[in-house]
Amino acid sequence: DTAVSQTPKYLVTQMGNDKSIKCEQNLGHDTMYWYKQDSKKFLKIMFSYNNKELIINETVPNRFSPKSPDKAHLNLHINSLELGDSAVYFCASQDRGSNEQYFGPGTRLTVT
Amino acid sequence: AQSVAQPEDQVNVAEGNPLTVKCTYSVSGNPYLFWYVQYPNRGLQFLLKYITGDNLVKGSYGFEAEFNKSQTSFHLKKPSALVSDSALYFCAVRDITGFQKLVFGTGTRLLVSP
């Protein structure tokens, strides 16, 4: 069973569109994250939720809005997509008592 | 702020030879250090961590890392490299100011030649 899953795996869309990426974890973890990996493979955290509550919001444009309907899901909605949003987005989860994060397979977003 | 540096963009090693991927850290207080590996078109996988205790930490796939406080380093090592070890390796430190936030290095690509 996949521990952290993301859909879709690939997303190609045009500038100005709105899109969502979904993430689910079946590990029972309390904390979930969204990371962005750019074309140079640099990985940076965007958001973190703990038990459906936003706890980390790095300097991310307001066009990005995370939503956590329950602690097993953390979705990422992006409005008015821009070329610079093209990247691979990774979801991750972590149990509160652990220091290890488990990553999803990533969603490659291409904005044309 | 907590940070890690990976000075090498790429490391090349022949199969069967020992490998080292370098990482240095800058932290306030005691460091929580991690190594993750990313295979092509995959998410990151946890390899090992240092929280406290022995300076030599053993992890998955035969990897180990040595914590050196005086040199503020946490280099990843393996005695005998495999072609299948070829991947992107990330060092990370837990940010004490963020809620379990990890700060990643820029990554080092390891290429193991047959």
CB B110 within 8 A of CB B17: no
Nearest-CA distance from A81 to chain B in Å? 23
Cα distances from A22 to residues A19, A46, A58, B102, in angstroms, run 10, 15, 19, 21
List B residues 85-104 in contact with A (Cβ-Cβ < 8 A): 88, 90, 94, 98-104
* Residue type at B29 in one-letter notation: G
Task: Write the pLDDT tens digit of every residue in A7-23.
Answer: 999 999 999 999 999 99
Distance CA B51, CA B65 (A): 12
Distance CA A13, CA A87 (A): 12
Task: Write the pLDDT tens digit of every residue in A29-78.
Answer: 989 999 999 998 899 999 988 888 888 888 789 999 999 999 899 999 99
A102 vs B88: CB contact, 8 Å cut-off? no
Q: Which of B47, B53, B2 is closest to B25 using CA atoms?
A: B2
Distance CA B20, CA B79 (A): 9
Q: Which of A19, A5, A105, A7 is closest to A65 using CA atoms?
A: A19
Q: Which of B10, B32, B94, B99 should we substitute to test contact with A (largest number of A Cβ atoms within 10 Å)? A: B99
Task: Write the pLDDT tens digit of every residue in B34-90.
Answer: 999 999 888 899 999 998 889 999 999 999 999 999 999 999 999 999 999 999 999
Looking at chain B, which residue has its C-alpha nearest residue A98? Answer: B100
Q: Each residue of B15-25: b (16+ CB within 10 Å) or e?
A: eeeebebbbbb
List B residues 7-26 in contact with A (Cβ-Cβ < 8 A): none
Q: What is the DSSP string of A39-102?
A: TT--EEEEEEEETTEEEEE-S--TTEEEEEEETTEEEEEE-S--GGG-EEEEEEEE-TT---EE
